Amino acid sequence: MYLCYMKTSKLFALASLLITSLSCLSTQVLAQNKQTKIDRLNGNDLIKQLADQRSIFNKKHSNNSLPKAEYIINRNDLTLISFNGLGYYVKNNRVMGIEGLKLSDTVLSQITDKLVLLDSIQFNQSVRSNMEHLSPNVDFQKIRNIDRQFMLTLRMLSSTVRDIAAVVKNANPSLTVETRIAKMRLPNIDKAAEKLKMQPLVLLSK
């Protein structure tokens, strides 16, 4: 009788330990899932949204509804941003990887340089435009020039991710993909702006 009691007690203790362990494991798994939760955004929609907001504001000229300057690539949390069917994992202003592709750190750094440069410029131009609108001695010609740069930068960001997508979707091996991406030059904002200096702002927003 005593032996049966001891065996039952041991089995009960073992079962309790097992349940506790499974409970702890489940808690850890849930915590890990929460930590690895990835935000998902449509980058093409974000670009269009920023351009549309600026265009609409310029038509109304209301200082009460200044478009908010927003980053596209610069994200504090791990985020999957899709451009032209490609998913870019970004965090802390850096492209961590592209979904479904195995790319070297060198190529990822090159992609980061291209996208972060354009993202920083569009953000800064948006801030500059808003500040000029709020200036006591507002200079509308200066604002038009800044906004041209802003729209141009968004267009260049769109064309850059489109070019990257075209390279990646090519049937060549990944090494060729890396080589072709590496050969893509950094966007030359000043040169592009000079070429389109006289182009109407409404065309830049398309």
Could you read off the pLDDT of 157-198 as tens digits, one per residue? 999 999 888 887 765 555 567 777 777 766 655 555 445 443
What pLDDT band is residue 47 in, cutting at 50, 70 and 90?
very high
Judge contact between 150 and 122, C-beta under 8 A. yes
Q: Strands 79-83 and 39-42: what pairing?
A: parallel
Three-point CA angle 125, 126, 127, nearest 5° = 90
Q: Say if residues 92 and 76 touch (Cβ distance below 8 Å).
A: yes
Query: What pLDDT is recorded for position 185?
Result: 67
Mean pLDDT for 93-100 is 92
The pLDDT, as a whole number, for residue 29 is 36
